[in-house]
Amino acid sequence: MNILLTGGLGNLGSRLLIPLVRRGDRVVIFDLQDKPFIPSDEFNQCKLIRGDLTDREAVIEAVKKEQIDSIFHLGAILSAQAENERDKAWTINMEGIRNTLEAARLGEVKRFIFSSTLATYGGGLPSPLDIDSPMWPVSLYGVTKVAGELLGVYYHNRFGLDFRAIRFPSVVAPRGMVGGAGRFTSEVFLEAIKTGSYEFYLRPDSSIPIVYIADAIKSFLLIHDAPEQNLTRRSYNIHARGVTPAELETVVKARMPHVKITYNPEPVQTAMVDSWPHSLDDRHAREDWGWQETYDLDRMADEVIETLKKELNSTDE
């Protein structure tokens, strides 16, 4: 199968290409960058097209020339950068999804997977959060993702495109998100190893829903491969668990007792996190295409710490 990854060199894409290549798919990457966020031998087996998502003709040409069967649309300006560069975020996120959907239509692409977010719902949310709760995002990033989902559903209804979206909570990774109120879920591990300390900008009991990066990648494969007749909707939530800074402190100190953890709640970011739900309604993903997390908090912590230590040691050598 010929698979196109837009934004394929980023945090998600550079990890997703690995299992795709390993299972025999031919992966084409469409990205402005030329180096993957996560280097791998599998990346060297992919075809890289350096291009801009706002260039519709370039996207259409890539889809047609490479005879693409499926698209994972991952290219976007993320939350913190989107607030600082609103014009750029609007152009890339909105024109990017429109151009890629149009390329999928013209290229008769069989399946289109869209990376969406919990930020589509906004703030002041109940917990657990019902999947059909109203979506009133408070960030520009969330606004563009709501629009992307709705446009994808339009292309499904109007043109028959098999559009599927996943709304992710905070994704924890050895090198995770930069900026944004949820960055602490990944940042605490890196700073604990690098500096031996971390100051949370939240209260110990502030809570956020998370999923580990390996499970996030697994969810992409599951939703992509699910038979269309199994789907009861076009957009799905996934979720592993809620976590607090206090819980992260516990798992970090259990593995690195010397680490100093402090708290200095920042009012704006604390209020933002407090407005998020502790858990999400993801029963449809579990029932329709077999979503199930495989990493609990301890296994996640072990893998993140081991990975970061290996990376930092190899950098020092």
Active site members: 141
Domain boundaries, the chain: 2-170+211-237, 171-210+240-278+294-316
pLDDT at 53: 96
In tens, the pLDDT along 234-264 reads: 999 999 999 999 999 999 999 999 999 999 9
Q: What whole-number distance in Å separates Cα of residue 224 and Cα of residue 12?
A: 15
- Reported as a pLDDT band with limits 50, 70 and 90, residue 299 is very high
How many other C-beta atoms can be found within 10 angstroms of the C-beta atom of residue 299?
12
In DSSP notation, 42-90 reads: GGGGSEEEE--TT-HHHHHHHHHHTT-SEEEE-----HHHHHHSHHHHH
Four-way CATH pick for 171-210+240-278+294-316: 3.40.50, 3.90.25, 3.40.390, 1.10.150: 3.90.25
86-209-286-164 Cα dihedral, nearest 10 degrees: 0
In tens, the pLDDT along 208-217 reads: 999 999 999 9
For residue 178, is pLDDT > 70? no
In tens, the pLDDT along 45-67 reads: 999 999 999 999 999 999 999 99
pLDDT at 315: 62
Class of domain 2-170+211-237: alpha beta
0.85 surpassed by pTM: yes
Mean pLDDT of 295-302: 96
